[in-house]
Amino acid sequence: MKKFVYTLEHICSTGKHKDLKLLGFFNDLKKLESIQDIVSKFSGFKNYPDGFVIKKRELDKAHWKVGFYTVVGEIGRDYLPEEDIIDEDTYIIQNLKSIFNISHVYTVDSFKDDERIIGSFSNLDKAQQALELLKGNSGFKEHPENFIIDEIQLNELLWTSGF
């Protein structure tokens, strides 16, 4: 059986630029809605109230399997991952307090870093196993030291100010 958590994101489009802010991972929709209400009052967010997006994110899956070849969008920040297709065999995972998120950072030049979220995992062992497999993939093997595994608490706000 597949497992998922919700993500709360905010997408702001201004002209040619789309900016994605990942606000948190949740397994409690009431907490997600409460956090969204708080953030909607922050500067910037209140100017784009229709920018909030709730997605289901499959756990224990590497979403980005190829490394860096070129910058995506504006310093790579315009990368918007495909939405997971969550079928009836997939369930929200309730007993987790945190997840382990893998990202990869690539320095475009001395002033610009591009960070991409690779995937979210239900435990550290699964995250480390996925990371070891990804290190050999083209585009990553040139920068294997640039992977980051972060433990992220569920049902908490990751973004604490406006924009």
Q: Is 160 part of any domain?
A: no
Task: Give me the percent of the chain exceeding a pLDDT of 90.
Answer: 50
Please report the pLDDT score of residue 80 as a whole number: 42
**131 pLDDT exceeds 90?**
yes
Residues 6+ apart with CB under 8 A from 82: 63
Q: What is the pLDDT of residue 74?
A: 45
Any domain includes 162: no
Tell me the residue range of the domain where 48 lies.
Answer: 2-153
Asked if pLDDT for residue 96 goes beyond 80, the answer is yes
Entry pTM: 0.82
Whether pLDDT at 120 is above 60: yes
108 pLDDT above the threshold of 70: no
**Most confident stretch, 16-20, 96-100, 140-144:** 96-100
The total domain count for the chain is 1
pLDDT for res 63: 83
Residue 159 lies in a domain: no
pLDDT tens profile 17-69: 778 899 999 999 999 999 999 999 999 999 999 999 999 889 999 987 776 65
CA distance to 14, 20, 35, 163, per residue, from 11 (Å): 10, 5, 16, 12
SS3 125: helix
Q: What is the mean pLDDT of the chain?
A: 84
Residue 129 lies in a domain: yes
Of 46-50, 93-97, 99-103, the range with the lowest mean pLDDT is: 93-97
Is 142 among the domain residues? yes
Q: What tokens appear for 153 in the block? A: 């608490």
Q: What is the pLDDT of residue 130?
A: 95
Q: Which of 61, 42, 11, 17 is nearest to 157 (CA)?
A: 42
How many Cα atoms sit within 13 Å of 104 on the Cβ side?
A: 27
